Amino acid sequence: MGEGREGPNQRLGIRAAGTFFRLMRRGPSPLPVALLLLGFLPVGAPAKFPLWMACKGYIDYTELIVVSRKSPWWNTGAIAQNRIELSLYPLQTLTLFSALRTRLLYGKLYERIFPGGFDKTLSDDDGLLDLSANLWNDSSALLHVMSDRLYLDFSPGEWQLRVGRQRINWGKNLVWNPNDLFNARSIFDVSYREGPGTDALLVRRYLGPMANAEIAVAGARDIDSVTAAALGQISAGGFDLQLLAGWMRHTVVAGAGYSGQAGGAALRGEASVFSDDSFDSRPQAVVSLSADYTFPRRIWVHLSSLINSAGKKRPAGGFESLLFTRLNARHLSEALFQLFVQASCPVTPLITVDCSAVVNPADGSAMLMPLVSFSLSDNAQVTLQAQLLLGRSGDQYGGDEHSVFGNLQWSF
């Protein structure tokens, strides 16, 4: 099919686009908007791309319900989002990668969360380049687009050079990552599994099959916000070991991490020490240890802990700050100590049940997070999840409200 002719999938996308702008003039409603976003993508047989190009992504719809013990009224909101990843390979050693994330948020819940205007909150881009824009918004809805990945990767032989908006993963653990100086993320954000990227330069040198060294510098609009660090990794005794040192926003940081197997269990750990550039400040240590094991019948159990020497020993109210602000490796929790427990089991080949809980022993509060996932096909699934606060007002996980999420996702 030539460029000048439109096929059935292309005509479907044009009709969906027209419907979209008519809906925007009238004001969005949940079901039509969710179906409309599906119309932007080809249906039927997967598209065939030339060898120098690859494209994949997903589209999903999440409905959020917040139930309060003090009010008979529910607060509701929804996110319909589409994420597309495009890779170009002009040379064998050169890759251009980009990812575009488009979100439509609407509902009374977002008006309450962002009383000053959530359009301004989402349009703020922390990177060197502003790759975020609000395409449309009113008092209760927002259409927002951003490029959360955009980098050039050059990998000749044993060297790798990557520049642009990327994700630099130095963490070892599955929940809390004090070694992740560039891309720390919240475990409570259920709508963004990839996590944010950062505008950075990464240089990596492979020293052998199980060893490498790398240097990363994350740029910022002011010199005081720059993060720069070096990392070395080796493998010994069946464990992957790493050491890092650098500078993170006014702070000198040094850290170490490990991951490996022992007795059939996966063991992971990482620690970082942060020291401000002042004589009267005390160093802060953040340590995370975890272990997970798969029992017969594919029952998977995961335990993790977090220690923050600068955390609060008393009730540590502040759960919202971990949900709505961008975290960093130094500030993963308000509490001195936290525990995370998780267990999952496939009930059938198509249904998985998972339940996790995060606990703050100092104030006795906890968040319970049950989840059920239904596989509809190889590339579509439905997930039902809840976040239940079990604590008093002022506790880290205290409050009178519980959140319930329903998600439908289709990958392509």
Q: Say yes or no to pLDDT of 11 above 90.
A: no
CA–CA dist 276, 253 (Å, integer): 9
The residue count of the chain comes to: 412
CA–CA dist 305, 319 (Å, integer): 17
Return phi, psi of residue 329, to 5°: -60, -25
Find the helix packing angle between 30-38 and 8-26, rounded to 10°.
Answer: 150
Strongest mean pLDDT among 24-28, 110-114, 228-232: 228-232
CA–CA dist 362, 296 (Å, integer): 34
Kindly state the tokens that stand for 328.
């960093």
pLDDT at 122: 65
What is the β-pairing status of strands 159-166 and 198-208?
Answer: antiparallel
**Vertex 91: Cα angle to 89 and 94 (nearest 5):** 70
Is the entire prediction scored with pTM above 0.85?
no
Q: Say yes or no to pLDDT of 93 above 80.
A: yes
Q: Say yes or no to pLDDT of 307 above 90.
A: yes
> Which whole number is the average pLDDT over 153-171?
96
CA–CA dist 157, 44 (Å, integer): 39
Kindly state the tokens that stand for 311.
């955390």
Q: What is the pLDDT of residues 66-91, one digit of tens each?
A: 888 777 778 888 999 999 999 999 99
pLDDT at 146: 92
CATH number of the domain at 55-411, out of 2.30.110.10, 3.40.50.880, 2.40.160.10, 3.40.50.1240? Answer: 2.40.160.10
31-32-37-42 Cα dihedral, nearest 10 degrees = 110
- What band does 23 get if pLDDT is binned at 50, 70 and 90? very low
Show the beta-strand stretches assigned E in 21-124: 53-68, 75-91, 94-106
Say how many C-beta atoms besides its own lie within 10 A of residue 197's C-beta. 23
CA–CA dist 272, 229 (Å, integer): 12
> Which whole number is the average pLDDT over 289-312?
95
CA–CA dist 331, 334 (Å, integer): 7
CA–CA dist 286, 178 (Å, integer): 6
Return phi, psi of residue 311, to 5°: -75, 170
The DSSP 8-state label assigned to residue 282 in this structure reads: P
Q: What is the pLDDT of residues 366-377, one digit of tens each?
A: 999 999 999 999
Strongest mean pLDDT among 15-19, 46-50, 371-375, 392-396: 371-375
> Which whole number is the average pLDDT over 207-219?
93
Q: What is the pLDDT of residues 242-252, one digit of tens each?
A: 999 999 988 99
Q: Say yes or no to pLDDT of 333 above 80.
A: yes
CA–CA dist 253, 257 (Å, integer): 14
> Which whole number is the average pLDDT over 96-117?
81
Return phi, psi of residue 16, to 5°: -65, -40
pLDDT at 118: 58
- Among 370, 368, 372, smallest CA distance to 357 is for 368
pLDDT at 281: 74
Query: Per-domain residue ranges for the chain?
Result: 1-44, 55-411
Higher pLDDT, 371 or 193: 371
> Which whole number is the average pLDDT over 111-138?
72
pLDDT at 47: 61
Higher pLDDT, 305 or 282: 305
Q: Say yes or no to pLDDT of 220 above 90.
A: no
CA–CA dist 171, 180 (Å, integer): 5
